[in-house]
Structure 1
Amino acid sequence: MACKTFFSFHYTEDVWRALNVRNCWVVNDDQESVGFFDGSVFEASKKESDDALKTFLRNGLKNTSVTCVLSGQYTASRRWVRYEIVRSVLKGNGLLTVDIHGVRNNAKELGVKGTDPLVEVGVYLSNGKIYFAEVKDGKWVKYSDYASAIPASDLWFEPPASNAVVKLSKHCMRYDFAAQNGRENIAGWIETAAALAGRR
């Protein structure tokens, strides 16, 4: 049975590209995606409160085993994409990045390749406890939207051994949808991410 997958992306900038990628992947009944929220629902949740949106996103991740980050030009710096990545790690989901700048948007325009979002989120050890970190203004800082320590047993990858930040990208694969024939290969990429996290 195929993985139930959460797709994380920058809604305003990349929803058209993301839908095209998702539609290539969902080709039969046992491939189910989560995370394609109706735009009005997403915007309404943002207006309520940060806590309401966090709950909304956590609920979106329920019953998924892989999170596929669809990366465009600005995705890496998006607060709620980072939150989805962090919650995915806490949940034990497999993670992968798929660059989608080579997919045309509704205006038939190609995008610009952005930074891998998994390069800008990491984990580090401090006083014997593991925490998330993120890049802000070019520097690593403690991740602000989830400040609690992470039990090492919750990580499917090797825990950090020092206060040097280990980027999540060290443990995850990155692909280019256009250049690597994502139309044919994305299902395999998602299965690989699931296997790396022990979710198969």
Structure 2
Amino acid sequence: MARRTFLSFCYQDDHWRVQQVKNMGVVEEQPLLSANKWEEIEDQGDAAIEQWIDDNMKGKSCLIVLIGERTAKRKWVKYEIKKAFNDGKGVLGVYIHNLKDSDGNQAAKGQNPFDAFKSGDEPLSKWAKVYNPPYTTSSNVYDYIKDNLADWVEKAIELRS
């Protein structure tokens, strides 16, 4: 049975790449919103966004941050990381910049979003491992993520147990 997870990412840049990960069928995740639906929630303000995140993170065992070029700088990604960690969920990151987007383009590698966080005196990276597929060809990156994501999720959950 696939673990229930929450996907965190930069929608504007990476929705096509994230859809590829979602289509792998390796983990169960929250529904991905269309741009229009996200805008509708966004127009209601920060409290509505926080409520959507909180509601969709309930019952999930792990947060998977799908890291693209600008993911680490996104306000809501930071909120999701903090919430998931404080709620005791497994937390991990996967670089997706080498998956092609809808135009067939890859992106530059982004910063590790966990670098900005600490738990007490410990860096969050003690609990939040980041995986960077060792390939530059999109199809190889896809296969590597598909073959390993379920194991990475289990390891992240185990680290928090």
Q: TM-score, normalised by structure 1?
A: 0.72
Deviation of 1:170 after TM superposition, in Å, equals: 2.8
Partner residue, 1:184: 147
Q: Give the equivalent residue in structure 2 for 1:80.
A: 76
For residues 63 and 19 of structure 1, what CA distance do their matches in structure 2 show?
Answer: 21
Cα distance change of structure 1 residues 3 and 83 upon mapping to structure 2, 3 Å threshold:
same
Kindly indicate whether residue 129 of structure 2 is the aligned counterpart of residue 173 of structure 1.
yes
The structure where helix makes up a greater share of residues is: 2
Contact 1:75 1:114 in 2 (8 A): yes
Q: What does 1:13-24 correspond to in 2, within 5 Å?
A: 13-24=13-24
Instruction: Structure 1: state its 5+ residue gaps.
Output: 124-159
Aligned counterpart, 1:136: none
- Give me the whole-angstrom Cα distance separating, in 1, the residues matched to 2:126 and 2:153: 17
Which structure has more relative contact order (CA 8 Å, sep 6+)? It is 2
Match of 2:98 among 77, 96, 102: 102
Offset at residue 178 of structure 1 (A): 6.0
Amino acid at match of 2:88: G
Deviations 1:10-57 (A, max 9, x none): 001000001101212x15xxx411152233221111111111111111
TM-score by length of 2: 0.88
Aligned residues of 2:17 and 2:100 also touching (Cα < 8 A): yes
Higher alpha-carbon Rg: 1
Distance (whole Å) between structure 2 residues aligned to residue 178 and residue 111 of structure 1: 15
- 2:22 maps to a residue whose letter is R
* Percentage of matched positions with identical amino acids: 32
CA shift digits 1:73-130 (9 cap, x unpaired): 100010001011111112211000100011000000011101011112234xxxxxxx
- Is 1:195 matched with 2:151? no
Distance 2:12 2:123 in 1: 26
SS at match of 2:118: strand
Contact 2:127/2:160, CA 8 A, preserved across alignment: no
Distance in 2 (alpha carbons) for counterparts of 1:35 and 1:96: 19
Query: 1:11 matched to which residue of 2?
Result: 11
How has the CA–CA distance of structure 1 residues 98 and 20 changed in structure 2, closer, same or farther, with 3 Å as cutoff? Answer: same
Superposition map of 1:68-147 within 5 A: 68-123=64-119
Contact 1:6 1:35 in 2 (8 A): no
The residue matched to 1:105 in structure 2 has which SS?
A: coil
Q: 1:61, CA displacement in angstroms?
A: 0.3
Pairs within 5 Å for 1:49-64: 49-64=45-60
